[in-house]
Chain A
Amino acid sequence: MRFPIAPYLYALITVALVSWGTSAFLPVLGLASCALLFLLPVLLAATRGGLGPGLLAALAGAAAYNYFLLPPRYSFAIHGPDNLISVAVLVMVAMVTSRLGTRLREREGEAWALAAHSREAADLSATLASAPPREGLAKGVEAIERRYGALRLLPGGVVPEGDGDFSSLDLSAAAWAMHNGDMTGHGTPVMSAAEWSFIPMSSKARRDGPVAALARPGDGSTRAWEQMVHLQQIVRLLGQGWDRVALEDERRERERWAESDRLRRAFLASLAHDFRTPMTVIAGQLEVLATAHPEADEALLAVRRLDRTMNDLIGAARIEEGSLVPRLESTDLIDAASAACEAVPTPAGMVVERAIPADLPFLPADPVLLHHILVNLLDNALRHTRSRVRLTARAAGGRVLLAVEDDGPGVPLAERARIFERFARIEGGDRKQGSGLGLAIVKGFADAMGMDVTVEDSPLGGARFVLGMPVLAPAAGA
């Protein structure tokens, strides 16, 4: 910075002018008034130029007053203490005024800077909002680059290693900024030798958030901390734009997902339709046949089983694709058990015993999924039993436990863990037909509804499948 000579010259010129005026008009004005007039250059110089020019004006004024006005005029002889006092007064006025003036100028400067910063922030906000999120952000980046130089936005948590723009010190600074939420690199106390300034785009509370990288100024100057603080505010605005882009992307992704989910559902529905139409025709004609030929009944049962297998396939597809969203509603286990027993016909020579208390708590369940679970458990028991299947339920420890038992061969201990996996029919020992999907669906649907299913030995001699279900708090108002 060059030494500003102008205020000093200005001070001397005003003192000279006052000296000339007072010495010319001394007889008219009187000494006291003339002395007062010498305050004028001091005030002017101190307010405009600060302490240096103010003091110069004070000393020059005191000298001129002494030389031109005080008797004996045109000499520097000092007579009494009053002369010294006048010098002291002028110097003090210079000091006080210059301080006031300096502060005033500082405040004025701050106000201007603040206004400029606010304007810049408002402009950036307007730019960000002027277009859809992604274009708005691009425009905002452009505006900042025009003003401050190259800008790069780095997604949170990912340090851009192998990026030619960044040295290893830059990368460390970037990682620090992301992880700690502090400004780092050029212009900051942290790794200030870096070529870029790294400024977090979100508040400090958010760890691993995105970071803006701003290149060191092209003219080789160093960014002042005040400017970094201002840049922090600007970059946070940019961060809001960035978040909007992320939200927009998320919304698009959701829409895409919903669309593909819709297509999958439509596909499953049409698959079901394509299967069921021929099955309906076969079942219908078999029914007609069965009136005259009772052996057609067996074929009819087979078709009903085929329909259940078809339901299992659709169920498995829904579990697989993760589109299973249970619609839980208050459900009475009596309803669910009755409907399941009706849906699975009992083959000749077998009995299904049902002992479900009528006063169990209601369950939060998706009635359709629960129905499917019970149908599969019942179907599984009927396929493996010799003669008896028993359905019981009891409330225990804030849950309802439903047991489906049979007197078949049971499930060996070693097989129990994997019997709920898909296609996990027990090898060798089991030649009963079954898709191998039924129990996997039981488990998948139970998981989706916050229920669990286990298998153990039954006192009947076979397997006992136990479905543990959470219960609803009792309702008021009915």
Chain B
Amino acid sequence: MIRILAVDDEPAILRLLGAVLGRAGYTVVGAACAREALAALGGGVEAAILDLGLPDRDGLELIPMLRQAGVPVIVLSARSDVAEKVTALDLGASDYITKPFDGDELLARLRVVLRPRDGQDGKVEAALVHGPIRIDPARHEITVDGRAISATPKEFAVLQALVAARGRILTHAALLEQVWGRAHIGDVEYLRVVIRALRLKIEADPANPRLIRNEPGIGYRLGD
């Protein structure tokens, strides 16, 4: 059984998470505050679902601690504050979901963060696959449904980063830093230009994108 840490000060939410995750076969370890959450880490958990509004300390502070313990974090936020979500992601959260959440969506996000991390044990150059997209970094090749796509170096780098994230959201700043460098962290327009060019090449209908999805004000992720 995969153990998931759920941190929320509302007992009703903890019960709901228990029900939703329990049906999918996970065991939920509930914690009502940061102290309980840190104590629960000792028992070994595979991932954490974390509400940021905790009674004893700011949920944002917990993110680096959980990451350090090797636990991927999905932030469960009641606040519609985009800046806070971006901060959480930049602090190392793997993904976020806003209350009221859709159970299926939460489970999908959880599956993504629980996927075994291939490519991290030395085989950095191995081909990356996400849905119909296959990227071979060594040969600098992209194929979508077996069809070869030509891409500029920036387009290649952006798509590679998205595929490597395997459906996790990447913030605009994270993508810009990874591809253009730290100095261009604010140049969202660069990203827009490259994403638009990529969609023209890989989407069946670039005006109705299914593969490269945007979350307003936050970042991009690959759709399944």
Residue numbers of A with Cβ under 8 A of B are: 269, 272-273, 276-285, 287-288, 303-304, 307, 311, 314, 327, 329-332, 334-336, 338-339, 354-359, 362, 366-368, 370-371, 472, 475, 477-478
Q: Is the CB of A358 within 8 A of B100?
A: no
B13 to chain A, nearest CB (A): 6
B215 to chain A, nearest CB (A): 7
Interface residue? B53 (CB, 8 A): yes
* Contact of B216 with A368 in the complex, beta carbons under 8 Å: yes
B42-101, CB < 8 A from A: 53, 78-82, 99-101
Q: Report yes or no: B207 in contact with A367, Cβ–Cβ below 8 A.
A: no
**Contact indicator B188/A335 (Cβ below 8 Å):** no
A-B contact sample (8 more), CB < 8 A, given A338-B214, A362-B193: A269-B81, A281-B10, A283-B100, A327-B217, A332-B195, A335-B216, A367-B82, A368-B82
Q: Is B19 part of the contact surface with A, judged by Cβ < 8 Å?
A: yes
Main secondary structure of the interface of A (DSSP, over half): helix
Question: When the two chains form the complex, which single residue of A276, A339, A472, A477 contacts B100, counting CB atoms closer than 8 Å?
Answer: A276
Question: Which residue in chain A gives the minimum CB-CB distance to B82?
Answer: A368
Q: Is B1 an interface residue (CB 8 A)?
A: no
Nearest-neighbor residue (CB-CB) of A314 within chain B:
B80
Closest Cβ of chain A to B212, distance in Å, is 9
Partner of A329, one of B78, B154, B188, B206: B188
What residues of chain B lie closer than 8 Å to A276, measured between beta carbons? 78, 99-100
CA distance A359 to B192 in the complex (A): 12
1/0 per residue B189-216: CB within 8 Å of A?
1111111100110000011110001111
In angstroms, Cα B207 to Cα A355, docked, is 7
Among A335, A358, A359, A368, contact of B214 (Cβ-Cβ < 8 Å): A335
Q: Are A475 and B19 in contact (CB under 8 A)?
A: no
Assess A307 versus B100: contact at CB under 8 Å? Given A285-B16, A356-B207, A370-B216: yes
Interface residues on B, range: 35 or more
A283–B189 Cα distance when bound, in Å, is: 37
Of the residues B81, B99, B217, contact of A367 by C-beta under 8 Å: B217
B190 & A478 in contact (Cβ 8 Å cutoff): yes
Q: How far is the CA of A366 from the CA of B217 in the complex (A)?
A: 8
Distance between Cα atoms of A276 and B23 in the complex (Å): 23
Residue of B nearest to A357 (CB): B207
User: Does B119 sit within 8 A of A, measured CB to CB?
Assistant: no
- The residue on A at minimum CB distance from B220 is A335
Q: How far is the CB of B10 from chain A (nearest CB, A)?
A: 5
Residue of B nearest to A311 (CB): B80
Tell me, yes or no, whether B125 is within 8 Å of chain A by CB.
Answer: no
A280 to B20, CA, bound (A): 12
Chain B residues within 8 Å of A314, by CB: 80
Q: Which residues of B contact A370 (CB under 8 A)?
A: 216
CA gap between A64 and B124 in the complex, in Å: 121
* 6 nearest A-B residue pairs (beta carbon): A335-B214, A330-B189, A478-B193, A367-B216, A280-B100, A367-B217
Contact A279/B193 with A288-B20, A338-B214 known, Cβ cut-off 8 Å: no
Among candidates A277, A311, A358, residue contacting B10 with C-beta atoms closer than 8 Å: A277
Contacts of B99 in A (CB 8 A): 276-277, 279-280
Instruction: Name the CB-closest residue of B to A315.
Output: B80
B12 within 8 A of A: yes
Which A residues are in CB contact (< 8 Å) with B188?
Answer: 329-330
Which of these, B103, B207, B217, contacts A334 with CB under 8 Å? Answer: B207
